[in-house]
Amino acid sequence: YPFLYRTNYRTWYDKSTPTPVSLNRNCQIYGEYKNTVQEFFVTAAFYYRHTRQNTLYGQVISRDSTAYTRCRLNNRSEYWSFTGTLSKGFYDWRLKTSLNFSLSRSMGKQLTNGLLQTYRYDYLKAEPRIIWSPVRSLEAEYHATFGYGGSKIGGKTRLSPLVDFVQRLHLTLNVGNFELRLSGEHYRNDLNSETHLNTLFADASLVYKSKKWRWEASLNNLFNKKEYAYTLYSATQSSTSRLNIRPREAMITLSRQF
């Protein structure tokens, strides 16, 4: 498309010239171990990508918008990641545990307001999960996500590393035709190096099933939270978003299966 165009109300793109040419080299190593009898599983993967290209998007940041223009500039970028999964089950205890993790790094060049700089972005993520059913009528699931990321731009500029930690707990209890569900989520976010936010959400629902009918009464946002905020990093930028949340609400649902 030979003209400047807008992708949203704050972002413009110009991809008219020149024609981009890139050369990629990729390498991946994968391995796994399975022991079905012991319910123990391990997977691991390493991925590497090296890219050479003749163009680079230059960004011009103003007060109200950001414009990206494709420029002729030979450059290269690198990316690698290491991911894995550990899983162990305990049949006699009705317990399942797992851990997913990843570590990645990306390196390249950026062109901002006419200034060309190198960058390096590192990110670590871990996700433990536990599913426990002490009795047939009760199941508990715990799932947490831990994220840690930071960026270095040029020789002096650093984006302060941020820690994001999310915990989720879901409880399900079945008694006859009734099913009770309780869920809670705790967010601990770094908005910047000095500001941290703790937010707790909770929902509850009661379901009754009778032949082809299904009744459900739910109560959402039990603590009546009004706002949630979080900060995201890209390789060279950070952005903070604040969201207004729907207040506490009750809902009754009736459905029939034909």
How many Cβ atoms are within 10 Å of 149's Cβ, its own excluded?
Answer: 21
pTM for this entry: 0.79
Helix then strand then coil, in percent of the chain rounded to 5, is 0, 80, 20
Could you read off the pLDDT of 53-101 as tens digits, one per residue? Answer: 999 988 888 888 889 888 889 999 999 999 999 999 999 999 999 999 9
Q: Which two tokens stand for residue 32?
A: 């796994």
pLDDT: is 154 or 224 the higher one?
224
pLDDT value for 237: 65
Q: Give 175-209 pLDDT, tens digit per residue.
A: 989 999 999 999 988 777 677 888 899 999 999 99
Q: Is the previous residue joined to 247 through a cis bond, with omega within 30 degrees of 0?
A: no
Structure tokens at 75: 């450059």
Three-class DSSP category at 93: helix
- What are φ and ψ of residue 162, in 5° steps? -110, 145
Q: What is the rounded distance in angstroms from the CA atom of residue 46 to the CA atom of residue 103? A: 10
Separation of alpha carbons 258 and 134, rounded Å: 35
